[in-house]
Amino acid sequence: MYQNYMNFLRNRLVMLGLMLLATLLLYLLLPSIRQDNMEPSNEARIGPPILNVSIRTGQLPGDPPLFFREALPVDREGQQILPKLQMVLLHGQAFTSKTWEELGTMAVLAANGYQALAMDLPGYGKSPDSEALKTEQNRVDLISRFMESLGVRAAVLLSPSMSGHYSIPFLMKNSAQLRGYIPIAPVGTRSYSAQHYKKIQTPTLIVFGALDTNLGAQSHKNLIQLPNHEVLKLEGARHACYMDKPHEFHRGLIKFLDKLKQDI
C-alpha cells in the first residue's frame, strides 16, 4: 500500500509540474499572440486608405517646357472627387518631381482629398534648362505660368532647399495667389528683411530637421518673422528631413492642410 501511495504522489507531482510549465509557456506566448492579432494603431494611418491613386504625367509648352506629375483626389472608395486644395510641389537640388511620387506624398495628398502637382524645375528631371530663368522675376513668372496653365486657383506651395530660389521671391511678390506656404529649409531667406516678412499674411508651415544646423536653422530663424506661421521640427532628421521622417512629415502636412481647408 505504501508503494501505491508513493506512485500516486509521484504522478500528482508530475502532473502539477506539467501544468505549471504549460501556464508559464502560455504567459510568455500571450503578448506575441495578442500583438499579431491586433489591428494597426490609428496613429499609424494618415487619413483614409490609399486606394486607386494613379499618377499621370504631362509637359507644359513654353520656355522652358515643364514636365510635371499629377495625382487627383479620391474618396475612400477610390472615386475621383473635387479637390479641397491644390498642392504645388517643388523639389531640392538632388531630387525631381519623382521624389514625391516615390515617397508616397502625392498618394497621401490625393487620398486625403488634395490635388497634387509636382514639377520638374528647369534643368532637373525631364524639364530642360533655360537661360531665361537667370532673373528673380523670370522665376516668379515661371511659377505663375505653371499654376495658370493647370488651372490652379487655391494653391499651397511646398518648397524644399534649392527651390527657395523660386518660392521665396514668389511669396514676396505674389503671396495673394497662395492659400498656404510650406518651406522646408529653403535657400534665399536671408535676402529679405524683417519688414518684408511681416507684410506676408499667407499661412505658413515651416519644416526643418533637428539635425540640419546649417540651412534648416538659418531658414527657421528668418521665416519665423512671418506673422502667420507654424513650425514642424522633425527630430532626428537631417536636411532632407521629409526623406528621413516621411510618416511624421506626412502627418504634419495633412494636419496643416486640413486646418487651411476649414478656413476657406
What is the mean predicted confidence (pLDDT) over 96-105?
A: 97
| Position with higher pLDDT, 21 vs 167 | 167
Check whether 26 has a pLDDT greater than 60. Answer: no
Check whether 87 has a pLDDT greater than 80. Answer: yes
Check whether 174 has a pLDDT greater than 90. Answer: yes
Question: Into which CATH architecture does domain 55-263 fall?
Answer: 3-Layer(aba) Sandwich (3.40)
Sign of torsion, CA 165 171 172 173?
Answer: positive
| Position with higher pLDDT, 44 vs 163 | 163
pLDDT in tens, 214-259: 999 999 999 999 999 999 999 999 999 999 999 999 999 999 999 9
pLDDT of residue 24: 45
User: β-pairing, 55-60 with 66-71?
Assistant: antiparallel
Residue 205: strand pairing partners:
230
Q: CB under 8 Å to 23, separation ≥6 — which residues?
A: none
Check whether 28 has a pLDDT greater than 50. Answer: no
Q: Is 164 exposed, middle or buried (0-12, 13-18, 19+ CB in 10 A)?
A: buried
Check whether 38 has a pLDDT greater than 60. Answer: no
- For the chain, how many residues are written? 264
> How far apart are alpha carbons 90 and 142 in whole angstroms?
12
Give this prediction's pTM: 0.81
pLDDT of residue 70: 97
**β-sheet with 86-89: strand ranges across:** 55-60, 66-71, 115-119, 86-89, 155-160, 178-184, 204-209, 229-234
What's at 155, amino acid-wise?
A
pLDDT of residue 17: 57
List residues with catalytic annotation. 161, 212, 239
Helices and strands, counts by H and E, the chain: 9, 8
Q: Which three cell numbers stand for residue 22?
A: 504549460
pLDDT in tens, 105-148: 999 999 999 999 999 999 999 999 998 888 999 999 999 999 99
The H or E element containing residue 28 is helix 2-37
